[in-house]
Amino acid sequence: MRRSLWAAFQAGAPSLARPPRTKARPPRTEARPPRTKARPPRTQARPPRTQARSPRNLAHSYSEMSQQQSYSWEEDDFQLPPGVKKIGREQPNCGQTYVMYHGTTRTIAKDIQRDGFKQSADGMLGCGVYLSRDMNKARAYPIDPKLLDSERVVFRVNVNVGNVIKINYQGHPRQKNWHDSRYDTAWCPPNCGMTRSGMEEDCVWDPNRIKIDKWITPTPMAGENAQPSIQ
């Protein structure tokens, strides 16, 4: 039987496989109709606001306008006490006394005047009182965008720096433990990459080395003394 089937196959017997499909499906000629209905335009306008602003909104608007006022931080001319040096880009010399500045709020300034300066628990240079020989650096502190210039105060002080160490890069081996090596002041030079402002910064370990001279408050620039008018 197997031989007869094989012989028939060799002789050209018709194949038992299914013939290929020759008829293709007709393409779809009917397209979906486009959407003709559009949303009707709004014909009713919103009624105008007839209620006046509440006192809370008025206070909020006044606060926003007050923040737009410009203030001037001009320091009056003064004569340096004997042996006291003013701002410089060079490293403070050991044992010298320098004019420095410390920025704070009016509320904290009253506490400082009454009780003196106190060490910060921590910071870029560790524990100590943070100051700068550049008033532009000090007047930006505390860093709070919501704090108005009219609420800021800058102390002008005389500082006996004692033994000074220069900390000029992040990760310095003495960055936060410099006082353990008997240094009195850590100095961060300007444009060394440690501060965003690029201004110099000083950290004094002992608050008793700091003597308050006066405090400086900003004054509104000309033409901005009047309170804003709110309707």
Domain boundaries defined on the chain: 83-220
How does the average pLDDT of the chain come out, rounded? 76
Q: What is the value of pTM for the model shown?
A: 0.61
CA-to-CA distance for 205 and 178, rounded, in angstroms? 9
Six token digits for residue 51: 């209620």
Nearest Cα neighbor of 207 from 159, 152, 164, 166 is: 159
pLDDT at 227 exceeding the cut of 60: no
Angle at 161 between CA 172 and CA 180, to 5 degrees: 45
Burial (CB count <10 Å: 0-12, 13-18, 19+), residue 189: middle
CATH of domain 83-220: 3.90.228.10
Burial (CB count <10 Å: 0-12, 13-18, 19+), residue 216: buried
Model confidence pLDDT, tens digit, residues 4-33: 555 555 555 555 556 666 666 777 667 676
The whole-number pLDDT of residue 209 equals 96
71-85 average pLDDT score: 56
Q: How far is CA 36 from CA 30, 31, 32, 93, 120, in A?
A: 17, 15, 12, 85, 72
By DSSP bridging, strand 210-216 and strand 219-220 are unpaired
Confidence of residue 82 (pLDDT cuts 50, 70, 90): low
Torsion angle, CA of 154/197/124/211, rounded to 10 degrees? -30
CA-to-CA distance for 131 and 137, rounded, in angstroms? 9
114 vs 83, higher pLDDT: 114
The whole-number pLDDT of residue 11 equals 59
Cis ω for the linkage preceding 14 (within 30 of 0): no
